[in-house]
Amino acid sequence: MNNTVFDPFNIILLVVAIIVAWKLRSVLGTRTGHEKRIDLPLPGQADAPAPAQRRADEAATGADEDDEVRYGLPEEQKPVWEGVAEENSLLARMLQRFREVDPAFDARQFLEGAKMAYEMIVTAFAEGDKKTLKPLLDAEVFERFSAVIDERRQQGLTQELEFVGLDDAKLVKAALDGKVGQLTVQFTSKVITAVRDAEGNVVQGNPEKLTTVKDVWTFERDLTSRDPNWRLVSTEAPA
């Protein structure tokens, strides 16, 4: 009879194999067929799975309704005025009309874009950068800004500006003329600014003083256009 199976060395190997298998199981776990899928985002994508993909994953894995609390409601389910206007206010009703003309309109997204545009325009104007200004302004406003830049250069003046930060930006008015929408935003920012002559003397402002600036700007866009960009059409001081 062959007694190889009772060889003590074979028994030791068997015990080691069992221990290794148990360790792997305790560390890695086992698949049951109900694990949630984890998608790593591609560069440029949001960290969380897209809503459509997430709903498909939930259906496949049996995810419960608590997932909605973690991810938040899909953007299309939120009222268009939420976060930027009071419910039932005139502004809220006008924003709803914008959404009816352009189903993709998002007031919150617009406001974030307006904040970035404000800093870009203020900085470019101070630097005399017409190339940056042109696509952000309508023709009339661009002409006015250009005229001030040209006059400043002719007088040998240069403007220094440090944009310290934006304290507040809020929608204050919305208007719709046919398919053309206008949104008015009141900005409150902090800057350090000064104008110097050709000899470097400060003739306006203070290069060492923090100044609070308030502006009321109106942006315009054809809501049916494929061009998603809003352009600045009016600037004024707050009342």
Domains along the sequence of the chain with CATH: 4-71 (no CATH), 90-236 (3.10.450.240)
CA distance 163 to 139: 25
Q: 61 to each of 6, 34, 46, how far by Cα in Å? A: 47, 6, 21
Going residue by residue through the chain, which has 239 residues, state the pLDDT in tens, using 9 for 90 and above: 444 444 444 444 444 444 444 443 433 333 334 333 323 233 333 333 344 444 444 443 444 444 334 334 445 568 999 999 999 999 999 999 999 999 999 999 999 999 999 999 999 999 999 999 999 999 999 999 999 999 999 999 999 999 999 999 999 999 999 999 999 999 999 999 999 999 999 999 999 999 999 999 999 999 999 999 999 999 998 87
Place of tokens 């398919």: 179
**Which residue in 128, 130, 132 sits closest to 152, CA to CA?**
128
* Torsion angle defined by CA atoms of residues 141, 190, 160 and 126, in that order, rounded to the nearest 10 degrees: -10
Q: Are residues 107 and 84 in contact, defined by beta-carbon separation less than 8 angstroms?
A: yes
Report helix, strand or coil for 211.
strand
Q: Which residues contact 190 (CB under 8 A, 6 or more apart)?
A: 164, 165, 167, 210, 211, 212, 213
Conformation bin of residue 28: beta by default, left when phi > 0, alpha when psi is -120 to 50: alpha
Which two three-digit tokens encode residue 185?
Answer: 């935003």
